[in-house]
A and B are shown apart, each in its own frame.
Chain A
Amino acid sequence: GDSVTQMEGPVTLSEEAFLTINCTYTATGYPSLFWYVQYPGEGLQLLLKATKADDKGSNKGFEATYRKETTSFHLEKGSVQVSDSAVYFCALLSGGYQKVTFGIGTKLQVIP
C-alpha cells in the first residue's frame, strides 16, 4: 500500500538557517504530493503541492520538487524564521483514490 516516510524530528535551527526536511514515498501509479503544516493548537494547512514528476510546489518561501526517479519530495527553505516553528507533514494522494496518506510529521523549532 501507499506510504510516506519522513525524517523524525525535532529539528532545531537558528533563525535564517537553511531548512531541509526529507520525504520519500511508496505508491502505485503517479500520486499527487503535498506538504502540510500544523501550527500549535491548530489543524493542518496545505502548504504546497505537486501533481506530476518534476513539478515544483512553492509557497511562503518553501519549495519541494517532485522527484519520480528517487520517489522523493523534500521540503526546503532558504532562510527560516521563528514563525516557521510548526510540525510539517509530507503526504500523498494516489490517483483514483481520495484518501491522503500522511507521514509521521517533523517538528521544526526555530530559535532566535
Chain B
Amino acid sequence: DAGVIQSPRHEVTEMGQEVTLRCKPISGHDYLFWYRQTMMRGLELLIYFNNNVPIDDSGMPEDRFSAKMPNASFSTLKIQPSEPRDSAVYFCASKPGQGTVTRGYTFGSGTRLTVV
C-alpha cells in the first residue's frame, strides 16, 4: 500500500495564476478530505467527499477554491486565481467507509504552496 499520494510536493506560483493540487487516496477508502494547514489557523477542513460525492464544502474559503473527485482514485483542489494568503500546506487524507467509524485518517505528505 503506497499510502495517500499528493503532488506536487512543493509549488511556487505567482499571484493570479491557477494552481491545481492532486491527490490519490488509498484504494478502497470511501472518504477523502482536503485540509489546509497554516501557522495562524492550524488545520482547517476545506471539503470532504464520500464515494466521490462532495458532502461538506463549508470550509472552502471562497469561490476561488474548487475541488473535484472524478473517480475513486483521484481528486483535485484548484485555486483560481491564487493569492499570497493562500500560501499554506495542503493535505489530503482518506479513510475507510462508514462501518469503520473509529478508524482514523491516513494523510498524504502534503503540498507546500507558496504564492508570490
Contacts and interface: CB of A to CB of B under 8 A. Distances in A.
A43 B107 contact: yes
Contacts of A102: 42-43
A93 interface: yes
Interface in A21-69: 32, 34, 36, 41-46, 49, 51
Contacts, number: 53
Given A43-B108, A44-B91, A96 B43 contact: no
If over half of B's interface residues share one DSSP class (helix, strand or loop), that class is named, otherwise mixed; here it is strand
Interface stretch (B14-22, B72-80, B97-105): B97-105
Interface residues of B, number: 23
Contact of B102 (A32, A45, A91, A104): A32
A98 B104 contact: no
